[in-house]
């Protein structure tokens, strides 16, 4: 097994995840069976209970694991599904070590960071490498070199290179600031970052330097001289219009050849399968204005997979998506919605912003504007319909009003009485049955699909018949026909919502069917508005 370890220095947020994903894409499209692993040094067991404002989107995997959003990037760039083993946290490692100690598996030894914690880290890394039948594992270490939280992981990886001689490459990502009117590229932060890495026993083999512009030859020479990294292994990743351009930038600088010099991997040329995709992404022919209605809109990473699903649609259709981020609390009337060509109501938990989301659904339903609701967006669509079409003015979810007289959304029966927040949800890939002669069947083209879920509440079965008798159609259900999964409206093709998260399985060359249909509908809506205006003039 061979490993490429991605570490970061200078500051966080410089794109390690995109670079790790890009390496995965290049390798997997050069004949190398590749997988990825994310190390997050935080003490949480996983990202499931973390506030999106602190850590961005919680990405759900097929097996129900709640992970860092970088796992979503890996899946999109690799075009394969991963599982919970592909995410390691301090919480997972320490929990396992303490449980082993309690079971007496250490035979009375004093349990320490070295060797017990570092051995558990290495065990988990090797498990992924062997269980997933791959030739190479890309490992991204969260945070920056020097963080106290990441020290045990870096030590474990240092030991891994010593034990797996010739099979571990370290790739260090740093920032090259540009200052002054002429944009002089400063290499000192990179020199200091590499020095800190070397102090803990790790010499990088490849440096990936993030900068605003392409790295100058002088800067590359100085970095090579002061870090003892071969000049050809000093790679420039400069700012681009879209992250899907990064693999091509890295590949053209010979990174695969550098890895081949150290590893025995297939000598196959890189197949750029995204040529047409990137062309449409960078040079779209049409555009639509979409409002994303949510409660975390100040941090766009909280809705990362929706942004990416829209990228995938653009790369497929050439329709650019101009996102308007709208805080659900500010939707008090139709003012912020009039200029849109489509409304997406996002997932979320808690009551804040729900009434604004309900108003947005009502506006889309009454005006004919294309609507897509995901998870909570699906649930508020049911609440809105019950209130304003069925006339149940107090309709609500028991998540927000436990004593509601018309709880059209209610708790999952098996979750009643559960108090552990980390285990109270329906998570992961579940089978969805699609009804014939519906918009959903037209989009999916098959009776059984699998989609990823993350929710506690569902449509109350007591209200389904009344809702459907009044024009709402539940076109997708679970296997028992008890849980409602997809809704649409009678005689309306551009109003859809799903209890599942369609965005999680969207891929560059295979966009989410719901997002694709939504954007196409938005373009039709825009064109009809233009035609109406031109006809009126």
CA dist 242 and 310 (Å) reads 13
> 425 or 150, which is more confident?
150
Q: Are 390 and 408 in contact, with CB atoms under 8 Å apart?
A: no
How confident is the model at residue 56, as a pLDDT? Answer: 86
pLDDT of 422 reads 52
Please state whether 201 falls in left (phi above 0), alpha (psi between -120 and 50) or beta.
left
pLDDT confidence of residue 416: 65
Confirm if 121 and 89 have CB atoms less than 8 A apart. no
2-273 is classed CATH 3.40.50.300: yes
What pLDDT score was predicted for residue 246? 97
Q: What confidence score (pLDDT) does residue 180 get?
A: 82
The encoded tokens of residue 102 equal: 């309690």
Mean pLDDT of the 351-373 span = 96
Rounded CA separation 491/470 (Å): 12
Q: Where are the alpha helices (DSSP H) in 267-353?
A: 275-282, 304-317
Measuring CA to CA, how many Å separate 70 from each of 105, 249, 289, 301? 34, 20, 27, 11
Q: Where are the beta strands (DSSP E) in 41-127?
A: 59-60, 66-67, 87-89
Hey, which residues does 286 pair with through a beta bridge?
Answer: 319
Q: Which two tokens stand for residue 168?
A: 């571990």
Q: Fold match between 2-273 and 277-530?
A: yes
Nearest alpha carbon to residue 231 among 247, 220, 242: 220
- What is residue 535's predicted lDDT score, i.e. its pLDDT? 76
Q: Which residue has the tokens 């994310």?
A: 38
Residues 148-166 have a mean pLDDT of 96
Q: Return the CATH number of the domain spanning residue range 277-530.
A: 3.40.50.880
Please give the mean pLDDT across all residues of the chain. 94
Res. 18: pLDDT tops 80: yes
Whole-prediction pTM: 0.94
- What are φ and ψ of residue 426, in 5° steps? -85, 110
Q: What is the pLDDT of residues 446-490, one digit of tens each?
A: 999 999 999 999 999 999 999 999 999 999 999 999 999 999 999
**For residue 526, which of 340, 248, 262, 309 has the smallest C-alpha distance?**
340
pLDDT at 383 over 70: yes
CA 240 to chain centre: 20
User: Quick check: 508 and 244 in contact, CB under 8 A?
Assistant: yes
How many CB atoms are closer than 10 A to CB 402? Answer: 10
- Distance between CA 137 and CA 384 in Å, rounded? 47
Cis status, amide bond into 115, omega within 30 of 0: yes
How high is the pLDDT of residue 84? 97
Q: What is the pLDDT of residues 81-93, one digit of tens each?
A: 999 999 999 999 9
What residue ranges do the domains of the chain occupy?
Answer: 2-273, 277-530
Provide the terminal-to-terminal Cα distance of the chain, rounded to the nearest Å: 69
Report, as an integer, the average pLDDT of 215-225.
96
Please say if the pLDDT value at position 536 is more than 80: no
Secondary element (H or E) of residue 19: helix 16-28
Beta strand residue intervals within 392-500, DSSP E:
395-397, 406-411, 426-434, 448-455, 457-459, 472-477, 484-489, 495-498
Q: Are the beta carbons of 235 and 255 closer than 8 angstroms?
A: yes
Q: What angle do CA 474, 476, 477 make, to 5 degrees?
A: 100
Check the CA dihedral 21-321-523-383 and report its sign. positive
Flag the least confident range among 137-141, 246-250, 422-426: 422-426
- Residue 413, pLDDT above cutoff 70: no
Distance CA 419, CA 422 (A): 9
| Residues assigned a catalytic role | 375, 501, 503
Starting at the edge strand found earlier in the chain, the sheet holding 457-459 runs 395-397, 406-411, 457-459
Q: Are 235 and 253 in contact (CB under 8 A)?
A: yes
């Amino acid at each position: 097994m061979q490993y490429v370890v991605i570490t970061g220095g200078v500051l966080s947020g410089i794109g390690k995840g995109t670079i790790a994903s890009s390496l995965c894409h290049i390798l997997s499209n050069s004949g190398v069976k590749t997988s990825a692993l994310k190390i997050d040094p935080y003490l949480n067991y996983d990202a499931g209970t973390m506030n999106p404002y602190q850590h961005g989107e919680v990405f759900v995997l097929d097996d129900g694991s709640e992970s860092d959003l970088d796992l979503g990037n890996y899946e999109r760039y690799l075009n394969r599904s991963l599982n919970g083993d592909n995410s390691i946290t301090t919480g997972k490692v320490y929990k396992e070590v303490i449980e082993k100690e309690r079971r007496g598996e250490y035979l009375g030894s004093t349990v320490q960071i070295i060797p017990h914690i570092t051995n558990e880290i290495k065990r988990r890394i090797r498990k992924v490498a062997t269980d997933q039948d791959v030739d190479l594992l890309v490992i991204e270490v969260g945070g920056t070199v020097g963080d106290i939280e990441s020290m045990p992981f870096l030590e474990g990886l240092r030991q891994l290179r010593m034990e797996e001689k010739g099979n571990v490459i370290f790739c260090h990502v740093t920032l090259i600031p540009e200052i002054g009117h002429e944009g002089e590229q400063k290499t000192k932060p990179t020199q200091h970052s590499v020095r800190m890495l070397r102090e803990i026993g790790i010499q990088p083999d490849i440096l990936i330097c993030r900068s605003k512009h392409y790295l100058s030859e002088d800067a590359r020479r100085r970095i090579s001289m002061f870090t003892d990294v071969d000049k050809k292994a000093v790679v420039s990743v400069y700012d681009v219009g879209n992250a899907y351009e990064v693999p091509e930038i890295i590949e053209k600088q010979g990174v695969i050849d550098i890895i081949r010099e150290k590893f025995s991997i297939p000598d196959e040329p890189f197949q750029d399968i995204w040529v047409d995709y990137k062309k449409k992404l960078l040079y779209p022919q049409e555009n639509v204005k979409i409002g994303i209605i949510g409660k975390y809109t100040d941090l766009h990473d909280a809705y990362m997979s929706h942004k990416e699903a829209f990228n995938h649609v653009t790369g497929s259709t050439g329709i650019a998506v101009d996102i308007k981020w709208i805080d659900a609390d500010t939707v008090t009337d139709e003012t912020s919605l009039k200029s849109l060509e489509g409304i997406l109501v996002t997932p979320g938990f808690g009551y804040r912003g729900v009434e604004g989301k309900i108003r947005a659904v009502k506006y889309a339903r009454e005006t004919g504007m294309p609507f897509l609701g995901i998870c909570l967006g699906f649930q508020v669509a049911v609440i809105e319909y019950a209130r304003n079409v069925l006339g149940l003015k107090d309709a609500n979810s028991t998540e927000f009003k436990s004593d509601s007289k018309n709880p059209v959304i209610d708790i999952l029966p098996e979750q009643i009485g559960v108090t552990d927040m980390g285990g109270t949800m329906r998570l992961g890939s579940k089978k969805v049955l699609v009804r014939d002669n519906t918009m959903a069947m037209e989009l999916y083209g098959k009776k059984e699909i699998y989609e990823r879920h993350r929710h506690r509440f569902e449509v109350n079965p007591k209200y389904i018949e009344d809702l459907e008798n009044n024009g709402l159609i539940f076109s997708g259900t679970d296997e028992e026909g008890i849980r409602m999964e997809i809704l649409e409206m009678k005689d309306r093709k551009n109003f859809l919502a799903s209890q599942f998260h369609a965005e999680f399985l969207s891929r560059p060359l295979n966009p989410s069917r719901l997002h694709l249909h939504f954007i196409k509908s938005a373009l039709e809506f825009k064109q009809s508005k233009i035609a109406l205006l031109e006809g009126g003039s």
